[in-house]
Structure 1
Amino acid sequence: MRPGAHRRRWVLVRLLLVAVVLAAAGCDRPPQPAPLADAATPTPTGPRAPADVVLLSEVDPSIVVDIRYAGPHNFVGRPVDGYDEPLCLLTRTAAEALRRVQDAARARGLSLRVYDCYRPQRAADEFVRWAKGAAGQQMKAEFYPRVAKSRLFADGYLGAPTAHSRGSTLDLTLEPRPAPPRSSYAPGQPLVACTDPADRRFADGAIDMGTGFDCFDPLAHTADARITGTARTNRQLLKRLMTDCGFVNYDREWWHYRYADEPYPDTWFDFPVARSSLPPR
């Protein structure tokens, strides 16, 4: 054996042992990142996602999926371009990290409920067009009752491009287990402001977070001092569960989290949210 080879072999063995210990530690430390994409990689224009994009339901079917932009109950009031199916697509590293969050939530008698995951660039472009126009405010009373539509981008509630288009960002909340009764939305029904008390807001089964989802209002800022009591405790719990598993919160939206070690930090994808976008397995 060449000089030093024995020492190098021992170092490799020690590194493998450390990796095993960290893997057993759950979310005490964020998982190791996948190799980063080349910053010069162009945004794919074809119909297929990268090989490491997966259906969340195949990684953890216990997580409740409620993709709002695939239907009419959202701030534009209609299905959004690119949401062909109500699915949660994520990079595998983000999906597996989210499974660990779900394990921690279930240990507390709760479940994750996801509202949005990967978002095609075409959807972000549609939000830009919608925000620039004066029409299309039929959902204002619920989603942005106290903020002018023209301020939604300037105030940071919408963004284009958006981290969602990189495949490792999602919007979510917590709900009890077993799930309580939920309201169903019918277009044209009377709307209640997302800033109203929990017993008046749209009842989607989530625990009280102080506002509804996609509530474009300062009350939705994660650490807003006016959110107290149970709602504040619930926000802090969601943040702790997510950050323990490697996610970072966007401080203006209590529901918005990005996986810190995302594999595509410089690529914005535009494949549709559909099973057909996934490569053959």
Structure 2
Amino acid sequence: MALANLVHADGTPHLSPATTPAQAGLVDIRRLAPDIAEDIKYAGSDNFVGTPVDGYLAPKCLLLQPAADALARVERDLRAQHQRLELFDCYRPARAVQHFVRWAGDLADQRTKATHYPTLDKSKLLGDYIAPVSGHSRGATVDLTLMQCDAADTHCAPLDMGTDFDYFGTLANTDSPDATATQHANRERLKHAMEREGFRNYAMEWWHYTLSPEPTPDLIYDVPVQ
């Protein structure tokens, strides 16, 4: 499946000619929040593909400047409440999305089923859960969770959200009726903090937020994360 065909088909964004983060206007969130917690899943093997993903040359969170500024404000506001964010993914190169599509088409590879899609047949993932073009590639979407810290802010632990990141199934839906009252409350805490700075949630994934309005809604990028 050629990348050029995917991004120039009717209704899909255009591909930026940028070849570096600087050319794309992508900035490292740690320029604004130097010690923000990061666990960038696709730079390693702890993800649904089970291997480092194409385009992730470093475990960094890159975002367009308006999204980075807004995310840094969320982190700042949360710290006043002894809470912090933990980031799983930010800007995602278009080549990484194509890696996902290839993985979804390899039905023989079931290594991560027990963790990431225990109730679904892998053949059902392409479409509803894995799309050929991702909003992450537009540079204003983040995947993250909320952590609660102790009074001294020396130890922080993720709140119970009901599923791990990148769980394919309805329990990951933000308003899933199968989540407990505590899990719903934690999801709402995260949602409130993100919405206050202009991020909107994707209803199928409690961890997924996009800045609204997006800085470049009709443009995706394919520069490596480095």
TM-score in terms of structure 1 length: 0.72
Aligned to 2:146: 174
Q: CA deviation at 1:51?
A: 5.3
The CA distance in 2 between the partners of 1:180 and 1:213, in whole Å, is 21
**Match status 1:44 vs 2:16:** yes
Name 2:212's counterpart in structure 1.
260
Root-mean-square deviation over aligned CA pairs: 1.9
* Residue of structure 2 in register with 1:231 after alignment: 183
Q: In structure 2, what residue type is equivalent to 1:77?
A: G
Counterpart of 2:118 in structure 1 is: 145
Residues 215-230 of structure 1 correspond to what in structure 2 (within 5 A)?
215-230=167-182
- 1:230 maps to amino acid: T
Q: 1:94 aligns with which of 67, 70, 77?
A: 67
Change (3 A) 1:228 1:52: same
Does residue 56 in structure 1 map to residue 29 in structure 2?
yes
Give the whole-Å Cα distance in 2 for the aligned partners of 1:262 and 1:119.
Answer: 15
Letter matched to residue 68 of structure 1? K
| In structure 2, distance between residues paired with 1:41 and 1:236 | 31
1:208 equivalenced with 2:147 (yes/no): no
Match of 1:122 among 65, 80, 95: 95
Matches of 2:184 and 2:175 in 1, distance apart?
8
Q: Aligned pair 1:81/2:54, yes or no?
A: yes
Per-residue CA shift, 1:107-153, capped at 9, x if unaligned? 22110001000000000011111101112221111111111111112
Give me the TM-score of the superposition, normalised by structure 2.
0.88
In terms of Rg, which structure is larger? 1
Cα distance 1:66–1:126, how it changes in 2: closer, same or farther (>3 A)? Answer: same
Instruction: List gaps (5 residues or longer) in structure 1.
Output: 1-38, 182-204, 275-281
Structure 2 counterpart of 1:126, one-letter code: H
Structure richer in strand, relative to its length: 2
- Unaligned runs of at least 5 residues, structure 2: 1-10
Q: For 1:152, what is the secondary structure of its paired residue?
A: helix
Tell me: CA distance 1:250–1:264, structure 2 relative to 1, closer, same or farther (3 Å): same
Letter in 2 for 1:254: W
State percent identity of aligned pairs: 45
Number of equivalences: 212
Structure 1 position 70 matched with structure 2 position 22: no
Letter paired with 2:184: R
